[in-house]
Amino acid sequence: MTTPRLCTVRDLLRYAVTRFNTEQLFFGHGSSNALDEAAYLILHTLKLPLDQLDPFMDARLLDDEIAAVMAVIERRSKDRVPAAYITNEAWLGAYRFYVDERVIVPRSFIAELIPHHFAPWIDDPDTILDALDLCTGSACLPVLLADAFPQARIDAVDISADALQVARRNVDGYQLQERITLVESDLYTQLEPRRYDLIISNPPYVNSGSMAKLPAEYLREPQLALAGGEDGMDLVRKIVAGAAERLTPQGILVVEIGNERAFAEAAFPELELTWLTTSAGDDMVFLLTAEQLQLA
């Protein structure tokens, strides 16, 4: 009896979905299900348009193409490597970024807020002249900031020299070298003594209990960029504590803390955190004004 071969994109897609579901993979780095992730990986590997699966479903593939796709399916299934590390790309909306294992895969609810200029707290985007992104990673958020706030000069800070190498690639790719300055620093420590109209951060905020339960895919990411200490607030406390002397009088601080709202409110009982609405609800991102921080 002859064993049937996988010959078409349709065959490989079916096989990949079965493998991904059988291995109970975690989807949290761009796709939300096995079908979407399988389609993305197959189209990317075959260098086909990522938004045009149907025309190619019944295309018969060459042996080397089948081998390449099977290797990707195996790497994703057996080794639990996030798709973004396999393809070396990640997307935030319409923005494409280079990524590898030196940075976490870009994902941020702040990215949803930037195109709306953090309204109503910022009336005119042209008044934002100096902005700061702490824990910048791949520099995805500064790139979005540069588009949304066309007058802004942006400092993008990370403690990891490896992460900043990835950030440099993205800043250069978007030709923003004149507007985005990359700084290797432990938060504010190596910054020049200047003030900012806007400070944002998507810092490590996963509490120790949650770190112990992370899916295998997240363990592939730099743990330095995830772990936030016992309650997830180790770096958040430092960011808030240093913001008062770094913000202009009308400046604002925006910090993403994921599912840690209870810990954030416990960490700052003297502050009335403003929770911003995102696609995941009102618990992911908080805002503080310079005035609040000065009075605290």
Indicate whether 78 and 171 sit together in one domain: no
CA 280 to CA 234: how far, in whole Å?
23
How many domains does the chain divide into?
2
Instruction: Decide which of 56, 87, 118 is a domain's last residue.
Output: 87
Range of the domain at 37: 9-87
Q: Is residue 18 part of a domain?
A: yes
Q: Is residue 4 part of a domain?
A: no
Indicate whether 219 and 106 sit together in one domain: yes
pLDDT tens, residue by residue, 80-92: 999 999 999 999 9
Please report which confidence band the pLDDT of residue 4 belongs to, taking 50, 70 and 90 as the band edges.
low
Indicate whether 38 and 112 sit together in one domain: no
Indicate whether 61 and 163 sit together in one domain: no
pLDDT tens, residue by residue, 236-283: 999 999 999 999 999 999 999 998 999 999 999 999 999 999 999 999
Indicate whether 236 and 105 sit together in one domain: yes
Instruction: Decide which of 87, 117, 133 is a domain's last residue.
Output: 87
Q: Which pLDDT belongs to residue 161?
A: 98
Strand partners, 183: 157
CB 109, CB 284: distance < 8 Å: yes
Neighbours of 115 (CB within 10 A): 11
Please report which confidence band the pLDDT of residue 10 belongs to, taking 50, 70 and 90 as the band edges.
very high
* pTM confidence score: 0.94
CA 293 to CA 296: how far, in whole Å?
5
Indicate whether 78 and 150 sit together in one domain: no
Indicate whether 188 and 110 sit together in one domain: yes
Indicate whether 66 and 107 sit together in one domain: no
Please report which confidence band the pLDDT of residue 62 belongs to, taking 50, 70 and 90 as the band edges.
very high
Phi, psi of 10 (to 5 degrees): -60, -45
Buried b (16+ CB within 10 A) or exposed e, 124-143: ebeebebbbbbbbbbbbbbb
CA 296 to CA 292: how far, in whole Å?
6
Q: Which pLDDT belongs to residue 1?
A: 40
Please report which confidence band the pLDDT of residue 22 belongs to, taking 50, 70 and 90 as the band edges.
very high
Indicate whether 105 and 81 sit together in one domain: no
What is the average pLDDT across 118-135?
Answer: 97
Q: Is residue 96 part of a domain?
A: no
Residue percentage of the chain with pLDDT more than 90? 94
